[in-house]
Amino acid sequence: MRNTVAPILSQLNQVVLGKEQQVELALVCILAGGHLLIEDLPGMGKTTLAQGLATTLGLSYHRVQFTSDMLPADILGVSIFDPQQQAFHFHKGPIFNQVLLADEINRASPKTQSALLEAMAEQQISIDSETYALPEPFFVIATQNPLDQAGTFPLPESQLDRFMMRIELGFPDPKAELAMLQGQQFSEVTKVIDVAQLLLMQQQVKAVSASESVLNYLLRLIGHSRYNATYPNPLSPRCSKTLLQAAKAKAWVAGRDYLLPDDVQAVFPAVADHRLGLLGGPQASGAALSETLLHAVDPLV
């Protein structure tokens, strides 16, 4: 199964130039079964990456541009009265796709955001006392713009916690940008694997073995954030679970079936930054905090 990883990554790297690390993290996030939040300035290739991911992995996807006047029904769907059958008929919204690309998620009102919340956590939605299961697999890839905060509703901690990872793309290096400008032709994004293969990959990721010393390291990382006054938002047990999943996926992508502290370190900033950061504080503080945390805890004892 692992030999498909390379083609997936190479295709994605052609779509988003010079961002090998972030691309890999995004793939890791999907393999670990988590939702992804991409945060960056407009025009950095957020949407391109999300689209590329969905296509490459052969997933059905729908893109929703979030706006402040958006209602939950716009995402979930509505029940419409069918005069012919004299009954309400549920029209599924864009959420009933394997990948929901939520563009500029922080523009939507909290009400709409929270509608997404249930879907992300439970993989099901409830409308009019009916529960509808969402497709398998189901991912939310959300993007948001860190600057230009006027008229936005920052995601609350509870919602941030639902995202396995938050990644930033950042500016491409000049070489990559030059290549882009030169209009280097790349082939059409095509499907590399299908859903069945993806599910199989996810299973293999779960089977990656984690030795006690790695788990211990992970726990010490989490624990360090809890008693230390430097970290205003201690990491939750959910975070430790998520971190383990993500690290496992990272190990699997790296071609190992056992976990190393390196894997944990590699995914840690993406997993922990948005959970550690102070709400309303500068976003960079989360990154600084996870950096200090990684330096404070030694992988070996």
Partner 1 sequence: METFLKRHHLLLILLCYFTTTFSLFAQIHWLIFVLALLCIGWRLGIYFGRLAAPSVMVNRLAAILGAALLMGVVFSQGLFSAMMHLIVLGYTLKFLELSARRDINVFICTGLVLVAVFYVFETSILMALWGMVLAVLHLALAMSLYSAHLSQHRQAKYLGRLVLVSLPLALLLFLLLPRLPPMWKLPLQNQAKTGLSDTVNPGDIAELSRSSELAFRASFAAEVPAPNERYWRVMTLDQYQGNQWSQSQSIKNAIDVAQRGGHFNIEMQGVMQAYELILEPSYQTWVPSLAVSQGRANRANLMANYTLRNEIPIGQRTMLRLQQFADTKMHYIDLTMARQNTLLPNTGNEQTRAWAAQLAAQSGSTQQKINQVLQRFTGERFSYTLKPPPLGPQQIDDFLFGTQAGFCVHYAGSFVYIMRLLGIPARMVTGYQGGEWDPEGGFLTVRQYDAHAWAEVYLDGRWQRFDPTAFVAPERVEQGLELALPNEFLADDPLSLLKLRSNPMLNQLYLAMAQFDYLWAVWVLNYDNQKQFELIKRWFGEVDFFGQIWLFIGLFVATIVFMLLWHLKPWQRVRLSVEDKLLLRLQKRFKANVGERQQGETVTDYCLRLREEADFSPQLAAQQRANLLKFAQCYNALKYAPLREQQRQETLDQLRQLLRGI
Partner 2 sequence: MQTHQWFSSRFERWLQRHVPARSHIVLNRKNLFILPTWFGVTYLVTCFTLFLLGTNYQNNLILFLSFLLSSVFVSCLLLSHKNMSGLALEAAEPEPQFAEQVMAFPVKIQHSAEQGQFYFSLQKQPHVLDPVIKGQQVVVYAKACHRGYFKPGRLTVYSLFPLGLFRVWSHVDLGWQGLVYPKPIETNLVLDSDAGDQQGDLGRSRAKAGFDEFAGLKTYQVGESLKSVAWKQLAQGRGWHSKAFEQAQGAPVWLTLNEQTGRDLETKLSQLTSQVLQLDEQNALYGLRLSGQNITPAQGPSHKLACLTALATYGLTAPTKAGVN
Binding site for partner 2 (CB under 8 A): 109-110, 153-154, 224, 227-230, 278, 280-282, 285, 295-296, 298
CB proximity list for 163: less than 8 A, separation 6 or greater = 34, 35, 36, 37, 120, 140, 142, 274
**Cβ closer to partner 1: 206 or 256?**
256
Q: Which stretch binds partner 1 (CB under 8 A): 140-148, 166-174, 209-217, 271-279?
A: 209-217
**Cβ closer to partner 1: 177 or 257?**
257
> Residue 64 CB: number of other CB atoms within 10 A?
22
Hey, is 33 helix, strand or coil? coil
Binding-site residue total for partner 1 (CB under 8 A)? 19
Q: Which stretch binds partner 1 (CB under 8 A): 161-169, 185-193, 233-241, 252-260?
A: 252-260
Does position 220 bind partner 1 by CB under 8 A?
A: no
Does position 260 bind partner 1 by CB under 8 A?
A: yes
294 touches, from partner 2, partner 1, none (C-beta below 5 to 8 Å by class): partner 1
**At what angle are helices 5-15 and 20-31 packed, to 10 degrees?**
130
How far is it, in rounded angstroms, from Cα 138 to Cα 28? 15
Hey, is 96 helix, strand or coil? coil
229 touches, from partner 2, partner 1, none (C-beta below 5 to 8 Å by class): partner 2
Which contiguous run of DSSP H or E holds residue 292? Answer: helix 284-296
- DSSP notation for 95-133: TSSSEEEEETGGGS-HHHHHHHHHHHHHSEEEETTEEEE
Does position 297 bind partner 1 by CB under 8 A?
A: yes
The one among 213, 216, 228, 230 contacting partner 1 by CB under 8 A: 213
How far is it, in rounded angstroms, from Cα 170 to Cα 180? 15
Under the rule (CB under 8 A), what is the footprint of partner 1? 209, 211, 213-214, 256-262, 265, 294-300
